[in-house]
Amino acid sequence: MAVVLQFAIGLVFGVGLVISGMSDPAKVLNFLDLAAIGVGAWDPSLAFVMAGAVAVTFVGFAAVLKRPRPLFAETFHLPTRRELDLRIVSGPVIFGVGWGLAGFCPGPAFTALGFGSGAAALFVAAMLAGMLLARWLANRPSLSAIAPPMDQFET
Amino acid sequence: MVNAATTFTPVASLAGGALIGVAAVMLMALTGRIAGVSGIAVRLFPPYADGELGGRMAFVAGLVAAPVVVLVATGKMPAQTIQGNAVIMIVAGFLVGFGSVWGNGCTSGHGVCGLARLSLRSLVATISFMAAAMATTFVARHLG
C-alpha cells in the first residue's frame, strides 16, 4: 500500500514538474539567463513554480508535523544539522554549475526519461555516478576534517 | 547555439508548483521523509540503511511516468527542448549529481522542502545554487 502511494506521490510530483514547465530545460535556462531581461527574452515562470511549491509545502508541513507520527512510519525524519559548513555552499555551487549548463536538476532529469530522451538518459547516468562518488568521498574518514559525514536524514 | 524561446506561464507554473508542494506534503504525511529527489536517488544504491527501497523506487518510477500520463490525459507531448550535446549532458549530469549529494540536497530538498521549513542551511544552499546556475548560464550563453 505504502509503495503504491509513493508511486502516486512521485507521479503527482512529476506531473507538477511537467505542468509548471520545470521539465523543459529551455524554460529553466531562460529563467536563469538574467541577461535576457534586457532584450525581453527572460522567462520568470520558475519563480512562480518555486513560490507555489514553497507556499503549499510551508502550510502543509505545519499541519502534518503537528500529528504524532507519519501514517507508515514510526517518526518524522527531519534534518537535524544546523551549522553552516563548507559543504552547504560548495555542494550547491557545483550543482548549480551543472544545472546552468544543461537546465536539468535531478527531478526533471528523471521526468525527462519518460519523454524518451536519449540526452536525458546520458545526463541521468552521469548524475547517478556523480552522486555515488560524492557519497563515497563524504564517507572517507580522511575527509572528515573538511567535510562532516553525511546526515542520513538530509536529502 | 540559438536559444529556444519560451513563453511566460505564471498560472501553469504556479499550479504545477502547487502540485509539487502537494506531493512533498503527502510524502511527509505518509513516510515522514523530505521529498528530496537527490537524496531519494542516491539511496536507490546500497548500502541500504532502512527498508524503504521499494518506496523510493516507486517514487522515481512515478517521476518517469509523469510525461506519459500527461500525454495520455491531454493527447499531446508537453514541450521539452534540450540544448547541449552529449558531452555537455555528461559533464552537467555529473556536476548535478556530485554537487547535490555533496551539499545534501537539490532544488526539491533545499529549494522547496528546506525553505518551507525555514531552514537556514537550505536558504544558504538555494542562494548558492541559484547564483552559480545564473552565472554559468551567463557565461555559457554570452561569453562562450
Whether the predicted pLDDT of A152 surpasses 60: no
Name every chain A residue with its beta carbon within 8 A of the beta carbon of B29.
60, 64, 67, 70-71
CA distances from B90 to A9, A122, B97, B109 (A): 28, 6, 11, 23
Q: What is the pLDDT of residue A150?
A: 56
Whether the predicted pLDDT of A153 surpasses 50: no
Tell me the pLDDT band of A155, cut-offs 50, 70 and 90. very low
**What is the average pLDDT across A80-105?**
94
Q: What is the pLDDT of residue B1?
A: 53
Which of B8, B10, B121 is closest, CB to CB, to A81?
B121
**Residue closest to B38 by CA, chosen among A146, A92, A32, A53:** A92
Q: Tens digits of per-residue pLDDT, A77-86?
A: 999 888 899 9
**What is the average pLDDT across A123-138?**
96
Cell numbers placing B26: 503527502
Q: Which residue has the cell 534534518?
A: A79
**Residue closest to B40 by CA, chosen among B8, B73, B22, B62:** B62
Residue of B nearest to A50 (CA): B17
Tell me the pLDDT band of A146, cut-offs 50, 70 and 90. low
DSSP 8-state assignment for residue A24: -
Residues near A116 by beta carbon (within 8 Å), at least 6 away in sequence: none
Amino acid at residue number A150: M
Q: What is the pLDDT of residue A147?
A: 59
Interatomic CA distance for residues B15 and B70, integer angstroms: 15
Which of A17, A103, A114 is closest, CB to CB, to B83?
A103
Within a domain: B2: no
The segments of chain B whose pLDDT lies below 70 read 1-2, 144
**How many folded domains does chain B comprise?**
1
**What is the average pLDDT across A10-38?**
96
Whether the predicted pLDDT of A58 surpasses 60: yes
Which of B29, B84, B97 is closest, CB to CB, to A129?
B97
Q: What is the pLDDT of residue B90?
A: 98
Within a domain: B79: yes
Name every chain A residue with its beta carbon within 8 A of the beta carbon of B42.
128, 131-132, 134-135
How near does any CA of chain A get to the CA of B73, in Å? Answer: 11
Q: What is the pLDDT of residue B47?
A: 87
Interatomic CA distance for residues A42 and A33, integer angstroms: 7
Total Cβ atoms within 10 A of residue A59 = 13
DSSP per residue over chain B, as a string? -PPPP----HHHHHHHHHHHHHHHHHHHHHH-----HHHHHHTTSSSP-SS-HHHHHHHHHHHHHHHHHHHHHHSSPPP----S-HHHHHHHHHHHHHHHHHTT--IIIIIIIIHHTT-HHHHHHHHHHHHHHHHHHHIIIII-
Q: What is the pLDDT of residue A148?
A: 56
Q: HEC profile for A67-107?
A: CCCCCCCCCCCCCCCCCCCCHHHHHHHHHHHHHHHHCCCHH
Whether the predicted pLDDT of A149 surpasses 60: no
Q: What is the pLDDT of residue A151?
A: 54
Question: Residue B3 in contact with residue B83, Cβ under 8 Å?
Answer: yes
How near does any CA of chain A get to the CA of B46, in Å? Answer: 10
**Residue closest to B96 by CA, chosen among A135, A97, A121:** A97
Q: Give me the interface pTM, i.e. the ipTM.
A: 0.97
**What is the average pLDDT across A44-57?**
98
What SS3 class is residue A16? helix
The domain in which residue B113 lies consists of 10-143
Question: Residue A66 in contact with residue B28, Cβ under 8 Å?
Answer: no
Name every chain A residue with its beta carbon within 8 A of the beta carbon of B137.
29, 32-33, 100
- The model carries a pTM of 0.95
